[in-house]
Amino acid sequence: MKTIPLSRNYGSPSNYVFDARTPPVLRVASGEEFCAELQDAFNGALREDPGKRQPRDLEPYTTRVPFWYNPVCGPVYVEGAERGDVLAVTIGGIDELTDGTVTTVPRAHHFAGMRGWEETDEPYTGVIRHRAGVAEFAYGNRTHRWRLQPFVGTIATAPDYESLSTLPTNFGSVMACGGNLDCCDIRPGATVYLQSMNEGGLLFVGDLHASQGDGELCGVADEVSGHLTLTCRVVKRQWLRNVRVETPEALIALYCYRPMEEGFRQAVRDLILWLEQDYGFTRREAYLLASACPDFRLRAYQMCAGIGRVMTTVGAEFPRYLLPARE
């Protein structure tokens, strides 16, 4: 299997932008599986020394504006992909996870400046140990445990001509190209649909998380390094409004926007159009099912505060068992 080594995936200027002018790090055929060794959002600096605090102790990465956080691998050139096609990216596996890091960041959270919340406004670095599929986080005299649920935080295709920072960019001028989505449903077994704006599609991936709560409220999840295996398939001549995800359980339409209510409205709109175009639902039928079925979900994946132009990532999720059988 072709592999992109860790050394190529952080530390260079090209690792912190989505840019079609960056030379491809790999060429693959449509349907060919490959592997990317990915660094964590903090370039491994906090995990190696949890006594450090960010952003204070993370030079030279924090001397840049925006910070050189959230490094990505890419672009990967997919043979046969052209402008106006869609890349269907299937997540095969996320393995070889390191221990994780979680932090608080001064001024970059929901309670900055509020009396009584000063503790949350102080820099803090915590290490989350991973053992046999379980996260273990010690804080004070308590130890907390939960099941690991790894996923890909950042996945995107190169924009048409813009150069976009990987940290504060959920999307560029074309929302369906993706970005720093922090959607925990982009996990092993899922397929992500991204718009191709360039020859080769030019895929970027990074920002592995071992786990994350809805909203990623403090702006940081269980940040890890690891190995990602994935496959890209080219869907010819299709234009998307926004990023779509298929899991074994559901169809999910993503949208990134503030206020959150408008994001949800747009996600539901795209989901209904998806059901109409691909599965033969009428718009009213899909609308009624979304309102009545208890397994329809509205998800708030990421609602960070104080991180530049980062928007809230939301999703509208429709259960597969309601889909008609395909002949």
Could you tell me if 287 and 269 are in contact, meaning their C-beta atoms sit under 8 angstroms apart? no
**End-to-end Cα distance, the chain:** 34
How many whole angstroms separate alpha carbon 195 and alpha carbon 177? 5
Residue 235 belongs to some domain of the structure? yes
Residue 13 belongs to some domain of the structure? yes
Could you tell me if 37 and 15 are in contact, meaning their C-beta atoms sit under 8 angstroms apart? no
Please say if the pLDDT value at position 29 is more than 70.
Answer: yes
For residue 109, what pLDDT is reported?
73
Query: In which band, very low, low, confident or very high, does the pLDDT at 135 lie, cut at 50, 70 and 90?
Result: very high
Residue 243 belongs to some domain of the structure? yes
Rounded to two decimals, the pTM is 0.95
Query: In which band, very low, low, confident or very high, does the pLDDT at 327 lie, cut at 50, 70 and 90?
Result: low
Lowest mean pLDDT among 106-115, 180-189, 304-313: 304-313
Query: Which residues, 6 or more positions from 162, have their beta carbon under 8 angstroms from its beta carbon?
Result: 18, 19, 172, 173
CATH of the domain at 129: 2.60.120.580
How many whole angstroms separate alpha carbon 129 and alpha carbon 138? 9
Express as a percent the part of the chain with pLDDT over 90: 77
Residue 107 belongs to some domain of the structure? yes
Query: What would the DSSP string read from start to end of 161-190?
Result: S-EEESSS-S--SSGGGEEE---TTS-TT-
> What is the extent of the structural domain holding 47?
2-322
For residue 169, what pLDDT is reported?
81
Q: In the chain, which residue ranges form alpha helices assigned H by DSSP?
A: 45-48, 260-279, 283-292
Query: In which band, very low, low, confident or very high, does the pLDDT at 307 lie, cut at 50, 70 and 90?
Result: low
State how many domains the chain has. 1
Is the Cα torsion angle 102, 108, 109, 113 positive or negative in sign? positive
For residue 49, what pLDDT is reported?
81
Average of per-residue pLDDT across 25-36: 98
Residue 66 belongs to some domain of the structure? yes
66 DSSP assignment: S
Residue 294 belongs to some domain of the structure? yes
- Express each pLDDT in 63-86 by its tens digit: 888 888 999 999 999 999 999 999
Average of per-residue pLDDT across 122-137: 94
- Express each pLDDT in 204-263 by its tens digit: 999 999 999 999 988 899 999 999 999 999 999 999 999 999 999 999 999 998 889 999
Residue 327 belongs to some domain of the structure? no
Could you tell me if 125 and 50 are in contact, meaning their C-beta atoms sit under 8 angstroms apart? yes
Please say if the pLDDT value at position 48 is more than 90.
Answer: no
310 DSSP assignment: P
